[in-house]
Structure 1
Amino acid sequence: MQLFRDVMDECGFMDLGYVGLPFTWEKHFADGHSIWEMLDWGLATNEWLMKFIGTRVHHLTSDSSNHYPLWIVPNGLEVVRSTKPFRFEEIWLSNPGCSNVVEAVWPSYGSTDPVIKVMKKTEKCGKELKRWDCDHFGNVRQELAK
């Protein structure tokens, strides 16, 4: 830990603090005792902190790993949101074109990070399904209004 602290000092890193549980790793033993530790930290330089004052690091929970993910929300970073969020429509399953779109998109994105890979595939799938929906089903709300 001292080497870690030395690197933090040398680079000018400061702890961002956290919101949530006070640990990011857990180990449970067969005899009933457990260990909880804070192994993962959100760090930043003073210059970065001045640009994003009020940034929060959230300790999330995970059912699939003994490491808890960090969710860093930089305050002051403008997030562009689509006007209408993607929603999967059940009616699409009645048309074989839906699975064709998904099968065409899914093999893409060869990132080594599996989380990034799934996020990119899902995002691309949503965009392509919206385009396909418009081409094959048109504007359903507009048609119902007529």
Structure 2
Amino acid sequence: MAGIIDSTWMVLSDFNAFLNPDDKVGGARPENNMMVPFRSCIDDCGLLEVPVVGDRFTWERNEIKERLDWVFRNFDWEVSHPHMKVHYNLCFKCDHRVIVVSDCGESRRNSISRFFKYQAAWCLKQDFPDIVNASWENKNWLQGCESFKNSAIEWNDKVVGSVAVKKKELLRRLEGIDKARQIGRSNGLQRLEKKIWMEDNRLAAQEELI
């Protein structure tokens, strides 16, 4: 594949392989002859590892931690995206951490305006008809549309949007537990983590109706 691509390219996946012995902590030490084929493949393809921010281990079980998931890019991609970084986020419905690739040199958050999207579940709220009636009262169609958009967004943030706030709070708690587990394992933390994931799944199911 590397021989036929003449532009920028990147590859990321669970390679289930180590590049160096320190890519595993605990258990039997990786043998060098098992790492050579992976190293040779990366070198032959002319790939460069994308730098990692934070915990670099992507899989763990009991006292063993391993880095099995990798992100590589060719030289052209590195030149065009020099600030690119990799973050390994929390595990979600899988025993591997989620790979997140970001370009720290490009911030588009401020340039993206918030768009309006009507949600069918709003009709399930008893006070929603009041929002609609008040928006078009003594207004023409265009004025009513603009008023409804602003009122609905504000109402959604205060009433319906609480689900998103709860999910963010759960994520912060999970990140705190994850950091604590990196220092030392605890059965209590594992039980709490499982309980929080169950609550997150419940909120996700509720969010689908919004």
Q: CA deviation at 1:85?
A: 4.5
Pair 86,62 (structure 1): closer, same or farther in 2 beyond 3 Å: farther
Please give the alpha-carbon distance, in whole angstroms, between the structure 1 residues aligned to 2:102 and 2:93: 23
Task: Report the equivalent of 1:115.
Answer: none
Call closer, same or farther: CA 1:70–1:143 in 2, change over 3 Å: closer
Q: Is the counterpart of residue 35 in structure 1 residue 64 in structure 2?
A: yes
Secondary structure, counterpart of 1:138 in structure 2 = helix
2:124 aligns with: 93
Deviations 1:79-119 (A, max 9, x none): 58641155776634349xxxxxxxxxxxxxxxxxxxxxxxx
1:109-124 mapped onto 2 (5 Å cutoff): none
Which residue in the other structure is 2:88 paired with? 59
2:22 maps to none
Structure showing greater radius of gyration is 2
**Residue among 38, 54, 60 paired with 1:4:** 38
1:49 is aligned to: 78
- Alpha-carbon contact 1:20-1:60 (below 8 Å) kept: no
Q: Which runs of at least 4 in structure 1 moved beyond 2 Å after TM superposition?
A: 74-82, 85-95, 141-144
Q: How much has 1:141 moved relative to structure 2?
A: 5.4
Q: TM-score, normalised by structure 2?
A: 0.39
Do 2:85 and 2:103's aligned partners in 1 also have CA atoms closer than 8 Å?
yes
CA separation of 1:92/1:50 partners in 2, compared to 1, >3 Å: closer, same or farther? farther
Counterpart amino acid of residue 27 in structure 1: R
Considering fraction of residues, name the structure with more helix. 2
CA contact (8 A) 1:23 1:38 kept: yes
What TM-score does the superposition give when structure 1 sets the normalisation length?
0.54
Q: Check 1:5–1:79 CA distance in 2 against 1; reply closer, same or farther (3 A cut).
A: same
Structure 1 SS opposite 2:39: helix
**Residue of structure 2 in register with 1:109 after alignment:** none
Q: In percent, how many aligned pairs have the same letter?
A: 24
2:58 maps to which residue? 24
Gaps of 5+ in 1: 29-33, 96-136
* Structure 2 residue runs without a partner (length 5+): 1-34, 127-143, 153-210
Answer whether contact 2:48 2:75 (CA < 8 A) is retained.
yes
C-alpha change, 1:143 and 1:47, in structure 2 (3 Å) is closer
Query: Which one of 111, 114, 117 corresponds to residue 84 of structure 1?
Result: 114
87 and 38 in structure 1: CA distance in 2 versus 1, 3 angstrom threshold: farther
